[in-house]
Amino acid sequence: MSLASLLTSLSGLWAIRADALTNLADSLQHLADMPEAASARAGASRAEDNPPYRMDGSLAIVPVTGTLTKNGLRFWGLDLLTSMRGISAALRRAEADPAVRAILLDVDSPGGSVDGIEELAGAVAAVGAGKPLYAYADGLMASAAYWLSCGAREIAAPATAEVGSIGVVMMHREVSKALDEYGVKYTVIAAGHYKAAGNSVEPLSDEMRAYLQSGIDDVYELFLQAVEQGRGVSREKALTMADGKIFIAGEALKAGLIDRVCSRAAFISHIKESTIMNLAELKAQHPEAVRELRAELETEAASVNAQARDSARAEGEKAERDRVLALAGTILGKEDADRLKAVAASGVSPEVLASLQGVLAPARPDKQQEALDALKAAAAGKPLSPMAALGEEESTAAPDFDALVAAHIKASGCSRGAAIQAMAAAHPEEHQAWIDAQNAKRK
């Protein structure tokens, strides 16, 4: 890329202090006028030529200095413009570095070109989502430099720093009068009404000025949105911050552009305390906070355990109710068992159901009390043996299998063989004990 091409690009959109853009144009023009520049060529800055960041403990410090352009500019071995893509690459390397616990953008920049700034701001947001990312205005944080920094977790500046200049600028260079003085006349031939808008050899008409202004306004809207999202402010608040003014640090703090006014060393210490402190340091420096946190965690753990016990108890009670209803069904028969399950599922209490005995039409009066007793036990979540369902006194010992068989015969009127088969299915442990006892007697 030649210096002439760079000078032409200065007519594009910039997010930079206006005086910085003018100085940049003058500097590049001065270089272009030097005899040595005829054979010299400029090139993009190479990120690998410089360390991407330096470490302060576990903090990676990424420099953001000078005028920013998408690919930067190197001329005669010097970096005249800083590469935005080089900064993005440094941020990604810091994010991937396991030794890095937090990242600091060390900013001293008047801003730069609009081309490339959204890409860099997106990289800042993406890296900041993975690791804590901060920004420090070490002298000047203006325009595009603020655009990329406003997404940081915190922004700080020393008392003498300048912050702001939020806006978009375009520089139109008209040389028509100078050309007239030299007797040179340019004729611009273009297809498309706005194709030659803003060219430097013709005066800028009101129509073309309005056309160029609309493009500036569109980019300014993007800048406003970045401030709103990055600083978490309303559109009205963003407009008070983004009117193009440059603020000294104290005023920038009042306006909401930054979060604290302090020295660079104090801000780095603050970052380390906030994000890099290990457990040993935390215990040593903040024992009260550690104790409070431990107590909070223990209380939360106890609450979770209590909920788990309550849930397990409820599940156990439900399982026991289902078992009792199954036993009652074995004793009463399928028809009464279905009625009993339907009544239990309705949620009615045994007491209410008992008060309605005179209203209900019992098909089998001799079984109604048995069903009520079984329902009461099921609702209370207490185990009920078939003997108790028949009105017999419940023993604290395991029920005798012969007694279970007798109770089933009494309740259902079936044969002893059928009763043994039914009780063996309902009480396999008691059935096995009964078999063992019978075998022992035969010996």
Active site residues: 143, 195
**Beta strand pairing status for 133-142 and 73-75?**
unpaired
Token pair 């193009």 is found at 244
Asked whether the beta carbons of 242 and 143 are under 8 A apart, the reply is no
- Gap between the Cα atoms of 122 and 150, Å rounded: 11
Closest of 159, 153, 145, 74 to residue 116, by C-alpha: 145
Cα distances (Å, whole numbers) of residue 286 to 59, 275, 296, 322: 21, 14, 16, 54
Structure token pair of residue 32: 């272009």
The amino acid that residue 224 corresponds to is L
Asked whether the beta carbons of 331 and 389 are under 8 A apart, the reply is yes
